[in-house]
Chain A
Amino acid sequence: MEKAMDVEMEREGGGEEEEEETESVSDVLRDRFRLSTISIAEAEAKRNGMEISEPIVACISDLAFKYAAEQLAKDLELFAQHASRKIVKMEDVVLSAHRNEHLAASLRSLCDDLKAKEPQSERKRKKTPRKENKATTSVVHIPDN
């Protein structure tokens, strides 16, 4: 029976193998993702003076992973494609947050921060003098990581 399965897999062009491999890569990523989520969630719970139960963190992690892999990745690709690009840029990420105004505003200001951090590439800075930057003061000193 195994031989028959092997033959079938070869015929499919290793399609099933591919899927199995993607599954295990996906599992590894999901686990790493969960570790980060645990630390972020616990820190946030502490900030709110609460504890958070473990299965709930796992739940939030799976939810966020699913969001990242299914909604976010897909939306980013579609937005970039829509703009006839192959490279996803910051504006695509900002656009994907359009459902909530506050979220969109948060991301947009972070986007501006990141742009301001751009070292010597004066390309974008040439056209937009600092005065046009609405929410920031004129001197922007953001400490590096």
Chain B
Amino acid sequence: MTPHFTTIDFARHRDLELKIQNKHNFPLSLSMEDENNTFDPDLIHAIFKLVWTRRALERERNDVADALDCEVGAGTSKKNRQTSANGKAIKLSCELLRILITEAVQRAATISEAEGASKIEATHLERILPQLLLDF
């Protein structure tokens, strides 16, 4: 299955190929149209909103504990309005997470291949985990 590049992507692809060392082989197919296989932006957005809502509520609880009088309702205070995200930022986050998955699989596959196995197993994942976590 050959990746589908536009001419622009190809130029950038070559550029980055030069920069990329063996250890950190990030996927060279950076085109977001590639493989149509990425996270749903709505899903990622929902995850972020869940976390940010929780954090906003916590901030509010702390404020209530500190302040003497509390006139503000949830999410209406200027100070404590919940963080939200720009559409493009979500798209970029989807890519980031997709890269995380592909890196994990790709690095584990390298180890697996070196051992002559045909299936990626726990031991392979184990070996790449520390560096993976340091990289992300």
Q: Which residues of A contact B (CB under 8 A)?
A: 18, 22, 25-26, 29, 32-33, 36-37, 39-41, 43-53, 55-56, 59-61, 63-65, 67-74, 76-77, 80-81, 86-90, 92-94, 96-97, 99-100, 102-103, 105-107, 109-111, 113-115, 135-137, 140-143, 145
Contact = CB atoms under 8 A, between A and B. Distances in A.
Contact of B119 (A46, A51, A81, A145): A51
Given A40-B38, A48-B113, A90-B86, A105 B102 contact: no
Contact of B8 (A96, A105, A140): A140
B47 A51 contact: no
Contact of A143 (B6, B12, B91): B6
Interface residues of B, number: 70
A77 B105 contact: no
Contacts, number: 211
**Chain A contact residues: helix, strand, loop or mixed:** helix
A115 to B, nearest CB: 8
